[in-house]
Structure 1
Amino acid sequence: MVQEVGLDKLIRDHPFFEGMDDEALELIAGCAANERFDAGQYVFREGQPADKFYMVRHGSVALEVRAPGRDSIVLQSCDDGDVMGWSWIVPPFRWKWDARATRLSRLVSFDAICLRGKLDADPALGYAVYKRFVRVIAERLAHARLQMLDLYGIGKE
């Protein structure tokens, strides 16, 4: 028998939301939904409106940058438990890269308009969420830097 786990429990138990009180988690869960992506399917594309962020429940999603005249460059793979998608909090709210499922992936999505409204109405909640996303942004920048060093062979003779 398969046991159903509610979104509120998944969110409550996720390290990204650690330390947030029940009321805040309930507000956030009100903006959440389950989504499924098959291998090769895009979760989002660079330049499109960033209308969600995602938590990977199961699967793997490659964050990719399109490069003229060559294959896409994988910046990072997001796997079980990872959070992806910070463009929803930075105007003009457009994706900065592609996200493509590399195998069957089940994600929890969080609606950006719903969540931004709640964060604007509750500055303490907004601060708590933004603080968590600063870590996500810093991690993405670090991975992008490493890929650039590898791509251009910096430090190699």
Structure 2
Amino acid sequence: MALAHEVFFPAATRIFEEGETADRFWVIRSGAVALHVQVPGRGRTVVETVGAGDLLGWSWLCPPRQWHLGAESREPVRAWEFDAAQVLGLCTEQPALGLSLVTAVAATIGDRLRATRVRLLDLYGPQGARGGGTAP
């Protein structure tokens, strides 16, 4: 937490865009943030909403360190912001901390990938793609 500083995003603030450099991340203290993917011909499609206690941003950990999704505050957000380079440096100095952090971020990545898959199947997949509909 010594590397964190508090930030505030008013409602409807673009926090980051898909494809931009990912050089920081946040732990949300209050509020909600919509995560979206750019769908060709359809624009931004929300795939998940994250809130208090959630990690916002994991792309800083994986080269090429570019955001895989975009993010916009749905309501006012208070968060702790971390500089990725500083955190990565601390993880190098303290491998046990690095392993714990990578494990936690990997869990978040898995959750986000599952949520994105489910949301995109709901929106664009054939009826019954998740087993909830009837086959033609």
TM-score (norm 1): 0.78
Over aligned residue pairs, what C-alpha RMSD do you find? 1.2
In the alignment, does 2:100 pair up with 1:128? Answer: yes
In the alignment, does 2:71 pair up with 1:92? Answer: no
5+ residue gaps, structure 2: none
Of 22, 34, 54 in structure 2, the residue corresponding to residue 62 of structure 1 is 34
Alignment check: 8 A CA contact 1:84 1:136 kept: no
> Which letter maps to 1:102?
R
Size of the aligned set, in residue pairs, is 129
In the alignment, does 2:3 pair up with 1:31? Answer: yes
5+ residue gaps, structure 1: 1-28
TM-score (norm 2): 0.89
What CA distance in whole angstroms lies between the structure 2 residues aligned with 1:81 and 1:125? 19
Q: Post-superposition shift, 1:71?
A: 3.5
SS of 2:75 mapped into structure 1: strand
Q: When you count helix as a share of all residues, which structure comes out higher?
A: 1
Of 79, 82, 85 in structure 2, the residue corresponding to residue 113 of structure 1 is 85
Listed as ranges, the matches of 1:17-28 within 5 Å are none
What CA distance in whole angstroms lies between the structure 1 residues aligned with 2:60 and 2:113? 16
